[in-house]
């Protein structure tokens, strides 16, 4: 790839030189090694290998539950791999070490090259070699006219072929083109640094938060209102823009017509309708959020990333006082939305005990050998299948998931006869009277919820622009050829004629060089006639 007449082409590795003794020498040696092409190649391959485990092992940043389960299932390997960072590959020190070294190498490689290229672009093509017939591609023709006349047309022919030309003496022309190749290559590598900076910026100043919003409820963009919130290290949640949105309607459609494998029951369309307010007291705007159509809020973008059912459940005590009444989200576990959830009645009952219910919501319920499950994702025949517990809901005040009960401080209720564990099966409108004067539980009806994720990434524009610049650079660098052509004229034996010799120099396997020389000669002949 180097043009061999150019001395000291930095794109080639220098031969490994013996390090001179002393710390400085060692440092220099290390720097040379790091910025050598061979190291870059090694680091690239290493990066590919290092990225691999992240696709094999569950990743905490993607799915905490699966990760925890995996570690629990693999008693020996789990904790060891965990300590080695295999469940957080892309945030692990070794992954970071590889790409940081790669980028140091990149800077160390590209900056000096940029300087060399800057000079090369402003200097003249070098002197023609003595013997053009030694070059890989060469040709000669004899034309009418004096050497001076011919040489003038040679220059014209080369320039019309978009060469830059220079004559170091009266009988030769040196020409070069394709500087954009190197420009493109540098643009590509420098832009990769831009990509990394954009990613880093987004990581430091970006944030994301998720919230489950049942139809009819309102979300206000404050840190406390999120179910989960992960702000970047330099983000202050107090600065969030105070918009609100009320979910007024949620439409879901599932495949019913096509019965084939993997299609029946597949999701077809989800749309969330919200009443959006930029700030408290601002005008209410009607907006929709779709799966591929997020809502720009002005302080983060709201994405529709999930949905499910929130059965409205009411619990009353023996006196008929309402102790719990809420749309309670249940989380879907399979494609037919067999969903799990829990009801926690925090107020203490007669014996100072709290009540809790846990179980399944089934949008299209069946009860067969497999137990209760759903056979279609739409709410065609909804049912709740619950077990009931009494005791302490929050033993030791430990944090727990809203979708499951911590039953370590509770006992499960039995049926009226006391023969078996209590199983409650409710369809919309039904009420079940709990045994032992514990009151009643009612399944009032079912709403859908939208899983909304609000994200803000201030680095994404930089990343995108850099990536596109990298692409442009790449195309330039891969499609353009850097070529040098040298021409020498000499008087022919016949009076008034001139021998023109041309020779071309390019990358070692540039197939088109001969054609290029033909082209130059054709242009030249056209000018001579």
Partner 1 sequence: MTHENLATYANLSLYSAMAVLTLSMLGYAGYLAGLLPSRDAAGESSDENATVTAGDRELVAAAGGGSAPGSSVAERSTPSAAPDAEVPLRARKAGGIAQTLALLGTVLLFASAALRGASVERWPLGNMFEFGVAAALFTMVVFVVSGLRRDLRWLGVFVVAPVLILLGLANTVWYTEAAELMPSLKSVWLIIHVTVATISVGLFAVGFVIAALYLAKDHFGTGGGGPRVLRALPEPRVLERLAYGLHIIAFPLWTFTVIAGAIWARQAWGSYWNWDPKEVWTFIIWVVYAAYLHARVTRGWRRQAATWVAVAGFACIIINYAVVNVYFVGQHSYSGL
> Which residues in this chain contact ligand HEM in the complex, by CB under 6 A?
1, 11, 35, 37, 40, 44, 102, 105-106, 109, 185, 189, 192, 477-478
The DSSP string of 291-318 is TTB-EE-SSSEEEEEEEEEEEEEEEE-T
Which listed residue (143, 247, 470, 489) binds partner 1 by CB under 8 A? 470
- What mask, x for binding partner 1 by CB under 8 A, covers residues 249 to 278? ------x-xx-xxxx--xxxxx--------
335 binds, among ligand HEM, partner 1, none (CB under 5 to 8 A by kind): partner 1
105 binds, among ligand HEM, partner 1, none (CB under 5 to 8 A by kind): ligand HEM
As measured in angstroms, the least distance from the Cβ of 180 to ligand HEM is 12
Which listed residue (475, 490, 519, 522) binds partner 1 by CB under 8 A? 475
Closest CA to 62 of 95, 96, 87: 87
| Three-point CA angle 455, 459, 464, nearest 5° | 105
106 binds, among partner 1, ligand HEM, none (CB under 5 to 8 A by kind): ligand HEM
Q: Smaller CB distance to partner 1: residue 135 or 154?
A: 135
Query: Rounded to an integer, what distance in angstroms lies between the CA atom of residue 176 and that of residue 125?
Result: 6
As measured in angstroms, the least distance from the Cβ of 106 to ligand HEM is 4
Unique residue bearing structure tokens 């209720």: 413
Q: Smaller CB distance to partner 1: residue 44 or 322?
A: 44
Number of residues in the chain: 529
525 binds, among partner 1, ligand HEM, none (CB under 5 to 8 A by kind): none
Rounded (10°) CA dihedral 89, 90, 91, 97: 90
As measured in angstroms, the least distance from the Cβ of 45 to ligand HEM is 11
N- to C-terminal Cα separation, the chain: 37
487-521 core/surface letters (b: 16 or more CB in 10 A; e: else): bbbeeeeeeeebbbbbbbbbbeebeebeebbeebb
Site for partner 1 in 485-514 (CB under 8 A): 508-511, 513-514
Query: Rounded to an integer, what distance in angstroms lies between the CA atom of residue 97 and that of residue 130?
Result: 50
As measured in angstroms, the least distance from the Cβ of 27 to ligand HEM is 18
Site for partner 1 in 448-467 (CB under 8 A): 451, 453, 455, 457, 460, 463-464, 467
Q: Does 292 bind partner 1 (CB under 8 A)?
A: yes
Q: Smaller CB distance to ligand HEM: residue 43 or 358?
A: 43
As measured in angstroms, the least distance from the Cβ of 473 to partner 1 is 10
Query: Rounded to an integer, what distance in angstroms lies between the CA atom of residue 102 and that of residue 452?
Result: 37
As measured in angstroms, the least distance from the Cβ of 160 to partner 1 is 23
As measured in angstroms, the least distance from the Cβ of 15 to ligand HEM is 16
Q: Does 8 bind partner 1 (CB under 8 A)?
A: no
As measured in angstroms, the least distance from the Cβ of 307 to partner 1 is 7
As measured in angstroms, the least distance from the Cβ of 109 to ligand HEM is 3
- Judging by DSSP bridges, how do beta strands 371-374 and 354-362 pair with one another? unpaired
262 binds, among ligand HEM, partner 1, none (CB under 5 to 8 A by kind): partner 1
Query: Rounded to an integer, what distance in angstroms lies between the CA atom of residue 457 and that of residue 235?
Result: 11
Q: Show Cβ contacts of residue 332 under 8 Å, excluding neighbours closer than 6 positions.
A: 308, 309, 338, 339, 377
157-194 core/surface letters (b: 16 or more CB in 10 A; e: else): bbeebebebbbeeeebbbbbbbebbbbbbbbbbbbbeb
- Comparing every residue's Cβ against ligand HEM, the nearest one is 109
Q: Does 213 bind partner 1 (CB under 8 A)?
A: no
Cα–Cα distances in angstroms (integers) from residue 258 to residues 45, 254, 266, 362, 377, in the given order:
45, 10, 10, 22, 15
Q: Does 474 bind partner 1 (CB under 8 A)?
A: yes
Which listed residue (178, 308, 372, 382) binds partner 1 by CB under 8 A? 308
Stretch that binds partner 1, among 301-309, 385-393, 415-423, 431-439 (CB under 8 A): 301-309
Q: What are phi and psi of 518, to 5 degrees?
A: -55, -45
Unique residue bearing structure tokens 């220059």: 155
């Amino acid at each position: 790839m180097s043009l061999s007449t150019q001395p000291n082409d930095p794109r080639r590795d220098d031969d490994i030189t013996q390090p001179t003794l002393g710390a400085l020498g060692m440092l220099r040696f290390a720097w040379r090694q790091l910025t050598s092409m061979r190291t870059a190649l090694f680091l690239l391959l290493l990066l590919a290998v290092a990225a691999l485990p992240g696709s094999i092992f569950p990743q905490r940043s993607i799915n905490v539950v699966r990760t925890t389960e995996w570690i629990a299932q693999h008693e020996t390997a789990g904790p060891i791999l965990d300590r080695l960072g295999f469940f957080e590959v892309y945030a692990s020190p070794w992954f970071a070490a590889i790409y940081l070294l790669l980028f140091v190498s990149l800077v160390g490689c590209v900056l000096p090259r940029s300087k060399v290229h800057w000079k090369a672009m402003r200097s003249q093509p070098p002197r023609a070699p003595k013997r053009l017939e030694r070059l890989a591609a060469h040709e000669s023709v004899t034309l009418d006219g004096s050497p001076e006349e011919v040489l003038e047309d040679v220059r014209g022919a080369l320039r019309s072929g978009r060469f830059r030309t220079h004559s170091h003496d009266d009988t030769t022309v040196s020409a070069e083109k394709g500087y954009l190749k190197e420009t493109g290559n540098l643009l590509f590598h420098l832009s990769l640094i831009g990509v990394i900076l954009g990613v880093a910026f987004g990581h430091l100043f970006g944030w994301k938060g998720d919230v489950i919003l049942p139809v009819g409820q309102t979300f206000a963009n404050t840190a406390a209102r999120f179910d989960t919130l992960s702000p970047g290290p330099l983000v202050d949640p107090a600065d969030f823009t105070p918009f609100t949105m009320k979910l007024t309607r949620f439409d879901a459609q599932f495949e019913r017509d096509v019965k084939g494998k993997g299609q029946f029951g597949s999701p077809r369309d989800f749309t969330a309708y919200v009443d959006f307010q930029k700030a408290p007291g601002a005008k209410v705007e009607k907006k929709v959020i779709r799966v591929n159509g997020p809502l720009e809020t002005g302080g983060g973008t709201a994405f529709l990333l999930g949905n499910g059912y929130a059965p409205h459940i009411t619990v009353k005590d023996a006196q008929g006082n309402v102790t719990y009444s809420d749309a309670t989200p249940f989380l879907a576990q399979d494609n037919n939305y067999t969903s799990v959830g829990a009801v926690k009645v925090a107020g203490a009952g007669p014996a100072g005990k709290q009540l809790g219910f846990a179980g399944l919501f089934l949008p299209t319920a069946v009860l067969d050998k497999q137990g209760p499950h759903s056979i279609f994702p739409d709410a065609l025949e909804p049912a709740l299948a619950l077990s009931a517990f009494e005791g302490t809901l929050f033993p030791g005040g430990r944090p727990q998931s809203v979708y499951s009960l911590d039953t370590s401080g509770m006992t499960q209720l039995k049926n009226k006869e006391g023969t078996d564990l209590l199983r409650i099966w409710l369809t919309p409108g039904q009420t079940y009277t709990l045994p032992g004067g514990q009151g009643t539980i009612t399944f009032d009806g079912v709403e859908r919820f939208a899983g909304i994720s609000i994200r803000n990434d201030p680095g994404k524009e930089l990343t995108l622009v850099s990536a596109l610049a990298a692409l442009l650079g790449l195309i330039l660098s891969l499609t353009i050829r850097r070529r040098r052509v040298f021409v020498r004229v000499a008087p022919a034996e016949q009076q008034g004629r001139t021998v023109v010799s041309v020779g071309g120099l390019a990358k070692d396997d540039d197939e088109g060089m001969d054609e290029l020389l033909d082209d130059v000669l054709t242009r030249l002949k056209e000018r001579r006639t």
